[in-house]
Structure 1
């Protein structure tokens, strides 16, 4: 009986220590501010982004808005298990930009303006960079923008 109690206590100790390590490992949430230009220069971006739906980041100047189609928010994640943090950030940011363009197409817009990071519902408005959070398992980017119609180029 004493041996079973000792074994149970040992197993419980191992479980507590293991869970503690696992919790610390999964809790990583490294914040990055990465350039949009690195995302836009990816070969996949040239293949998958629609050049007919223009993207304007932060407070970039754009032609006068002819029609407004509302705002949109996207919160995308990707597995970061086999990628570097930077690679995962670029990949998931591209996914978020594609999602913004898909929404624009759906509502009849030809541009997305005022694209800003919106991680944890906090604005990070920048003409050149976006905010990304990388963990051991998942990396995420949240973006928002305004769906608009601009004059033809």
Structure 2
């Protein structure tokens, strides 16, 4: 003997079950891990050696530099990379390199030969450090943001 529930009863039961599952499911956990990473690991990686332009010098935070001849404005660069299949360290280095390359591209556009006062700049909060940079690592994307001043330095 086969027993069939009326359509309305089975639809109500399915909807009730779905609501219970939604109510008891935990919230999605988006990761946004704050990391301070060494700049030296970005600058010494082979890809950085190949792609960074040595004619546009980079000075982080309060590093000493030659006298500024011309100021050409500030610039902000934020780059996100896919974090999947990469460690936090790898994705942080890649995002940092891309942000530095974007700064150098802007310097090239405005005729600057250096970028000074480069600081991590996440959510409009500066984090000046001449040895380390701020990285936000997530499950899906990793982000590094820098801001700096485009300048022409004397030799």
Superposed CA RMSD: 1.3
Q: Greater share of helix residues, 1 or 2? A: 1
- Does 1:90 find its partner at 2:93? yes
Alpha-carbon distance, 1:124 to partner: 0.3
Q: 2:134 aligns with which of 112, 131, 137?
A: 131
TM-score (norm 2): 0.91
**Structure 2: how far apart are the matches of 1:16 and 1:68?**
57
Q: 2:108 aligns with which of 101, 105, 109?
A: 105
> How many residues were matched structurally?
148
Structure 1 gap ranges (5+): none
* Bigger Rg, which one: 2
**CA deviation map 1:13-35 (0-9, x unaligned):** 334555x45x22xx211000011
**CA deviation map 1:58-84 (0-9, x unaligned):** 100000001100000011100001111
Partner of 1:59, secondary structure, is: coil
Q: Greater share of strand residues, 1 or 2? A: 2
Segments ≥4 residues shifted beyond 6 Å: none
**Structure 1: how far apart are the matches of 2:154 and 2:147?**
22
CA separation of 1:52 and 1:17: change in aligned 2, threshold 3 A: farther
**Structure 2: how far apart are the matches of 1:143 and 1:58?**
11
**Structure 2: how far apart are the matches of 1:62 and 1:103?**
19
Q: 1:3 aligns with which of 10, 13, 23?
A: 10
Alignment partner, residue 3 of structure 2: none
Partner of 2:68, secondary structure, is: coil
Alignment partner, residue 74 of structure 1: 77
Partner of 1:28, secondary structure, is: coil
TM-score (norm 1): 0.92
- Does 1:46 find its partner at 2:49? yes
